[in-house]
Amino acid sequence: MSMTNLTKCTFGVKFKDFALIASCNTRVDSLVVYQDELTARSLGSRLALAVQGAQGVASRFLDVVAGNATLYEMRHRFPMSAAVAAHFVRKTSSDALRTASSFMVSAVLAGYEPGEGPKLYYLSELATLQEMPSMVSGLAGTLTWAQLDKHSGTGVSEADGYLILKGCVEQVTERYFINLSSFSVLVVDKEGVRKLPNICGKSGSSGRGDTSLPHSNTPDCTPS
């Protein structure tokens, strides 16, 4: 198992009206834990991508995909659909695997299609692509499969969906041997892509028992 799978974690879940993705901001270097690596971003009006990979590689892959998505929209005067974006991400990863500068990243793409609803795709490190109702990436994510699978596809509200991901982070921070305590969260629905407050674990500011959606100015998590 790669070191990336041990020290990174990404969640994705598709509900009836929207999709949520959460990407770990923690970077582990030897015994030092940092919280300065953002690996999730918007690709357009209704697309969001979270990438998991080695230090620097994930952010470079995000930049390549985001730049090409912007170029596509400029050339064609309309944004990529979720399916087109998913296959473009897969081709980018697949082409890189055949060169000396392989990306070796896994990714989750969330999108929204009018008339069809939310979409969620998972890309493995070997560039295999699959549409899924929910997904996790990284060893820590396996602790949350049951919780995500139970709620995927249901008609929960955005606030309840956020709390479901918050519960997943609490499971990880309580049971995993590395303190992955800060996660960036993006929601994709018919209104577009929005960044929700970071979800904080043991060392963060989102304490237990809070059942309301935090305000967008909630401070980022601070390292232990």
Q: What is the pLDDT of residues 48-94, one digit of tens each?
A: 999 988 777 888 898 999 999 989 888 988 888 999 999 999 999 99
Does residue 71 sit within a domain? Answer: yes
Does residue 217 sit within a domain? Answer: no
**pLDDT over 90, % of the chain:** 37
Contact at 8 Å (CB) between 204 and 47? no
Residue 213 confidence (pLDDT) above 60: no
Domain count, the chain: 1
What pLDDT is stored for residue 139 in this prediction?
85
Query: Average of pLDDT values for 34-46?
Result: 77
Contact at 8 Å (CB) between 80 and 73? yes
For the entire predicted model, the pTM comes to 0.83
Half-sphere exposure of 149 (CA within 13 A, CB side): 7
Helices (H), the chain: 3-7, 57-76, 82-97, 145-151, 158-175
SS3 of 15-57: the string is CCCCEEEEEECCEEECCEEECCCCCEEEEECCEEEEEECCCCH
Does residue 210 sit within a domain? Answer: no
Does residue 126 sit within a domain? Answer: yes
What pLDDT is stored for residue 37 in this prediction?
63
Q: What is the chain's Cα-based Rg?
A: 16
What pLDDT is stored for residue 96 in this prediction?
87
In a 3-state reduction of DSSP, which class is residue 68? helix
Residue 215 confidence (pLDDT) above 60: no
Mean pLDDT of the chain: 82
**CATH code of the domain containing 95:** 3.60.20.10
β partners of residue 189 = 192
Does residue 219 sit within a domain? Answer: no
Does residue 41 sit within a domain? Answer: yes
The better pLDDT of the pair 188, 36 is held by 188
First to last CA, the chain: 26
Query: Average of pLDDT values for 166-191?
Result: 88
Query: Average of pLDDT values for 8-22?
Result: 92
What pLDDT is stored for residue 39 in this prediction?
80
What pLDDT is stored for residue 208 in this prediction?
40
The better pLDDT of the pair 9, 201 is held by 9
Structural domain including 92 reads 3-200
What pLDDT is stored for residue 25 in this prediction?
82
Residue 45 confidence (pLDDT) above 70: yes
Residue 206 confidence (pLDDT) above 50: no
The better pLDDT of the pair 21, 204 is held by 21
Based on the number of CB atoms within 10 Å of its own CB, is 118 exposed (0-12), middle (13-18) or buried (19 or more)?
buried
What pLDDT is stored for residue 33 in this prediction?
56
**pLDDT over 70, % of the chain:** 82
Which of the residue ranges 35-39, 48-52, 177-181 would you say has the lowest mean pLDDT? 35-39
Which among 115, 91, 112 is positioned nearest to 103, based on CA atoms? 91
Does residue 86 sit within a domain? Answer: yes
